[in-house]
Structure 1
Amino acid sequence: MRKLLVFVLLSAIISCLSAQNIYHADRSATDVSISANLIYNQAAYSLWVANEAPDHGARLLAENPWSNEKEVVLFDLSGNSASEVVQQVGDLGSVICTDPDYLLVSLNANNVVTLRNEVKAPMVRLKCGVSAGLRDELPPVDTNQLVYEIVAKVDTQNIIATIARLQAFTTRKATTDSAVAAAEWIRQQFENMGYTVELQEFTMGNTASSPNVLATKTGTTYPEKVVIIGGHYDSYTWSDEAPGADDNASGTAGVIEAARILADYPTECTIIFCAFSGEEYGLYGSAAFASRCKQQNMNILGYFNLDMIGYRNPGDAIHTDMIFPPSAKPLADYYQGIAAIFVPGLVVSEGFMISGDSDHTSFNNNGYMGIFPFEDDQNHSPYIHTVDDVLGLSVNSAEMAGMLTQASLAGVGSLGGVFSYVGLEENNGGLISSIIPNPARAQVRIIVQGFQTGQVVDLLSADGRRVLSMALPPDGLIAIDRLPAGVFIVKVSDGIRSAISKLIIN
């Protein structure tokens, strides 16, 4: 994995303290200033935060709407009357502006949860975010043979069983005890796989929420580099029952299935599996986690979001509509390249949010790259946020859920550097005494028990490809300066015995 840092955007990070004006621009506008932060993107329009208009056609919507620690929310007016929404908002907030497509409201942070419950229209909580700074360059798309192996292990029966169990909680609204119970069940699944698990507490204004569930797999070679896969487990309706099978037990099931498979494989980079809460009230859980990552200067290579992966519009081919901001295009391109190799039956198209938002936005708002491979931007499940969001009706394609899980698993496995020790501990047998130094950079000395002429040393890449083969010299010195950084398997054989050990090249 390359260590080269690239400057993704030419501008420095823009603080919310210096750029708080909201502008509306037509989606067709191309002359957009890089000093603007994209905060909401639709096929017909986009909203930006900047000091001045980011495009000659952009129009000012609001000046400093986040002042005095206010929150800003957008209500989508597709199929909703502006006057009805304004009436439902009532005294809970102040209308900033009304557009044919949306309504912007400024309100006290403690009123967001109440407003969500009162207004019967899709709501998006807008955050000004920051532009991207220095990032690690993504590796080239490659055919790691082990990725074929892990992709083949995705079991749709596991995915459906997990969806059924989460649906059985009746509701997973973030404010309920039932959601807390669901979080505990998810934690048990991760712990049973051997992961270190954290329950991250957070609040939504002054309202308590069920916690985020975070399972960590520490990388063997580059533990400071992190790849994240996640989705929200909370559900929502405007009634007491919120089964949330597609939205989003399906994505949560995909994350748990990916964790199950990767539990048996070491990875060069650290992998974090996330089940977020509070998404349905405005991405609160993922925002709490992503902002903490930024505060800790965590080096996140990319975030893969699984949200609504189980509904297939009747008659349509299995595909995904990829939703991402321009700043995350390198990761979106990487996903598309990986999917073409490891899940060739999955068509990946560019998509746009029709209404609402998802947890990838929290990572993009904090300067990382987050992508959202969605089941269908035009024809997603019509049953979400209703009591009919259940298996069979709203989750009607196990095959689709499996393929979307496979594609994100392939992306995480490739970017995270999945490899295998190939029975390292069982096959040494004392033949290899030591490998010095380890980790190494330019050359390495392999010391064996009872050197004999004719002993052969092979170096295998993490996916089993032979990258070097030669007779072991008497001094045991092997030049490795032409090999890339990574985890390798050293195999020494003398015609009768063979031994395997691990070598890390920096």
Structure 2
Amino acid sequence: MRRFTLIPTVLALAAVTPALSQPNTNAALLEEIRQDVSADRIEKDIRTLVGFGTRHTLSETESDTRGIGAARRWVYEEFKRISDDCDGCLQVYYQSDFIEGEKRIPARTEVVNVIAVQRGNVDPGRYVIMSGDIDSRVSDVMDYKSDSPGANDNASGLAGTIEAARVLSKHKFAGSIVYAGLSGEEQGLFGGKIMAAAAKKGGWRITGVLNNDMIGNIEGINGVINNTTARVFMEGTRMNESADDARMRRFTGGEVDSPSRNLGRYVHKIAERYIPNLDVMMIYRLDRFGRGGHHRPFNDLGYPGVRIMETNENYNRQHQNLRTENGIRYGDVIEGVNFDYAAKLTSLNALTMAALSKAPAPPAKVTIEGAVSPNTTLKWQAADKREKNLLAGYKIYWRLTDESTWTNSRYVGNVDEYTLENIVIDNYFFGVASVSKDGFESPVVFPGPAGSFYPGESGAE
């Protein structure tokens, strides 16, 4: 076992390592990716999706010009075109299941997702997923005949996902990236349930799901017009936490350090460092109050997932029949989408996925000890053979317990145990991140099962 312990004065000198230059070593790539995202292409894709008239899950599937069938075939062909441009770098396929007997899908209906996978060249079994929804709706969730443009909800998120595929497919990554067009969201999150179940069956190690649902509106129902902020919703404790894990968390912490929360902090950090004029509001809630989105089915199975979306919603433009009443225009039409803002949030996703996929996997089996001691010791499992050539070492983070982001860090090298001298365990929260040789970091992993990124891993073992 490789161990490292230094007193604080020596640590200040020892921390001068190549890994500390990471903002400079990876900034050029991330800036190239950011500048490659095109508001014009996003606008074109949103207009195409709106042009299908309705994309309701129960709508027409045989027509080539109207309904969800035509829409999903267009998404499939668009992913195929992107794959052709990168010499077949995307695996594009339909993923579906039949749903019936549900309140919003009473008759047998095939719910179809469109998936494009860009395989990693180091650890292809590790995934980060960006999703947008294909389907749309009007006031009556069962009305599949009326025009339902769904320009912002959620052609914006789907167009952003397609654009991210165009941009990131030009580059190589250690981990795999998945671009997903999900269906059945308005009828009960069925597309996400289908994909999450398939991921679990396939043994996917998911580092993060970035669900993009409404990323194009800047004019709120409250009168606020703002294109400089975005919201990230991220749940706390895992839905499937065991009773033993809950008891452990009660005494050691972790309520605000689930993998979803630390994925959200990662998104926040990307925005802060690399996206000009964008502040991320981290919201400690699964989703908007009493509402849901397509990251939830992944959260339900223990996977890290967050929702990225606009800050100011306009309810006159959501789930509304197209009409004008008392001088107010209702409906989710193209005029309600700000394409530059949608491009900004698409960039946030693309940079987050690029950084996650360039970085090594998050540390596994992180543990912590230091009760009744002036020192705090963290341990973790050394990187497996897939990632040894990618890994430079590890970085320990800590923060005061009432702080929302990681405020202190120390690069500790390629070790699997480290003691922080004279930093008392009772006063801080701690975590560990993996660092690649070119300076990309994984999300921070909180010690114990509460913070473990991959279901089945546990720092308690």
Tell me if both proteins adopt one fold, taking TM over 0.5 as the criterion: yes
2:45 corresponds to which of 162, 165, 181:
162
Pairing 1:245–2:151 present: yes
1:212 equivalent among 113, 127, 130: 113
Identity of aligned residues (%): 29
Which residue, out of 193, 198, 204, partners 2:93? 198
What is the deviation of 1:402? 1.1
Cα displacement (A) at 1:380: 3.7
Residue aligning to 1:258: 164
CA spacing shift, 1:418–1:159, aligned 2, 3 Å: farther
Alignment of 1:34-73 (within 5 A): none
Q: How far apart are the structure 1 equivalents of 2:119 and 2:187?
A: 31
User: In the alignment, does 2:136 pair up with 1:235?
Assistant: yes
Structure 2 counterpart of 1:431: none
Map Cα deviations across residues 325-353 of structure 1 (whole Å, 9 max, x no partner): 01310100000001111113111113450
Can you list the C-alpha shifts for 1:226-284, whole angstroms capped at 9, x where unaligned? Answer: 11111111001124211100110000000000000011111110111000000001100
How many residue pairs match? The answer is 293
SS at 2:270 equivalent: helix
Q: 1:216 to 1:263 in 2, by over 3 A?
A: same
**1:226-375 mapped onto 2 (5 Å cutoff):** 226-237=127-138, 238=140, 239=143, 240=145, 241-313=147-219, 315-318=224-227, 319-326=229-236, 327=258, 328-351=260-283, 353-375=288-310
Distance across 2 between alignment mates of 1:335 and 1:405: 12
Work out which of the two has the higher radius of gyration on C-alpha atoms and give 1 or 2: 1
Alignment partners' CA distance in 2, 1:273 and 1:153: 17
Give the Cα separation in 2 of the matches to 1:275 and 1:384: 20
1:25-174 aligned at under 5 Å gives the runs 142=23, 144=26, 145-174=28-57
**What CA distance in whole angstroms lies between the structure 1 residues aligned with 2:149 and 2:94?**
22
- Asked if structure 2 preserves the Cα contact closer than 8 Å seen for 1:146 and 1:418, the reply is no
How far apart, CA to CA, are the structure 2 residues paired with 1:364 and 1:440?
A: 26
- Cα offset, 1:486, TM superposition: 6.0
Separation in structure 2 between the aligned mates of residue 323 and residue 226 of structure 1, nearest angstrom: 20
1:297 CA drift (Å): 2.2
CA shift for structure 1 position 354: 3.4
Distance 1:173 1:225 in 2: 32
Residue identity matched to 1:329? R
Contact kept, 8 Å, 1:227 with 1:416, in 2: the verdict is yes
Q: What residue is the counterpart of 1:44 in the other structure?
A: none
Cα offsets for 1:80-101 (capped at 9, x unmatched): xxxxxxxxxxxxxxxxxxxxxx
- Where 2:124 maps in the other structure, the secondary structure is strand
User: Greater strand share, 1 or 2?
Assistant: 1
Ranked by relative contact order (alpha carbons within 8 Å, sequence separation 6 or more), the top structure is 2
Cα distance change on mapping 1:484 and 1:390 into 2, 3 Å:
closer
Aligned with 1:274: secondary structure? strand
Q: 1:379 aligns with which of 313, 326, 329?
A: 313
Q: How far apart in 2 are the matches of 1:439 and 1:209? A: 38
1:398 corresponds in structure 2 to 339
Comparing 184-193 and 141-150, the one that deviates more? 141-150
| Structure 1 position 485, deviation (Å) | 5.4
Q: Quick check: 1:266–1:418 contact (8 Å CA) kept in 2? A: no
What CA deviation, in whole Å up to 9, does each residue of 1:24-62 have, x standing for no partner?
Answer: xxxxxxxxxxxxxxxxxxxxxxxxxxxxxxxxxxxxxxx
Alpha carbons 1:311, 1:381 under 8 Å: kept:
no
3-state SS of 2:289 partner: coil
Q: 1:210 to 1:141 in 2, by over 3 A?
A: farther
Q: Distance in 2 between matches of 1:440 and 1:382?
A: 49
Q: Distance in 2 between matches of 1:148 and 1:370?
A: 25
CA contact (8 A) 1:268 1:487 kept: no
- 2:128 aligned partner, one-letter code: V
Q: Which deviations, in whole Å up to 9, do the C-alpha atoms of 1:450-484 show, x marking residues without a partner?
A: xxxxxxxxx9x9xxxxxxxxxxxxxxxxxxx9997
Tell me if structure 2 keeps the 8 A contact 1:180–1:210: no
Measure the CA separation in 2 of the matches of 1:175 and 1:440: 45
Q: Structure 2: state its 5+ residue gaps.
A: 1-20, 62-66, 84-89, 102-107, 237-257, 323-330, 361-384, 393-413, 416-433, 440-461
- Residues 195-232 of structure 1: per-residue CA shift (max 9 Å, x gap): 21110111223521341000010001111111111111
* Contact 2:123–2:387, Cα closer than 8 Å, also in 1: no
After superposition, the Cα gap between the structure-2 partners of 1:329 and 1:192, relative to the gap in structure 1 and judged at 3 Å, is: same
CA distance in 1, matches of 2:308, 2:388: 38
CA distance in 2, matches of 1:233, 1:371: 18
1:322 Cα offset (Å): 1.5
Q: Quote how far apart the aligned CAs of 1:147 are.
A: 1.2
The residue that corresponds to 1:76 in the other structure is none
Counterpart of 2:356 in structure 1 is 415
Letter in 2 for 1:270: S
Q: Deviations over 1:480-505 (max 9, x none)?
A: x99975689xxxxxxxxxxxxxxxxx
Higher helix share goes to which structure? 2
Question: Shift in Å at residue 148 of structure 1?
Answer: 1.2
* Residues 329, 162 of structure 1: alpha-carbon distance in 2 compared, 3 angstrom cutoff: same
- In structure 2, the residue matched to 1:90 is none
Moved over 4 A (4+): 140-143, 438-442, 481-488
TM-score normalized with structure 2 length: 0.59
> 1:381: how far off?
4.7
SS at 1:219 equivalent: coil
> Is the Cα contact below 8 Å between 1:174 and 1:277 reproduced in 2?
yes
**Which of 106, 109, 125 is 1:224 aligned to?**
125
Query: Closer, same or farther in 2 for the Cα pair 1:258/1:358, shift >3 Å?
Result: same
TM-score (norm 1): 0.54
Task: Name the counterpart of 2:9.
Answer: none
1:440: Cα distance to partner? Answer: 10
TM-aligned CA distance change 1:332 to 1:409, over 3 Å: same
Matched, 1:186 2:95: no
- Give me the CA root mean square deviation: 2.9
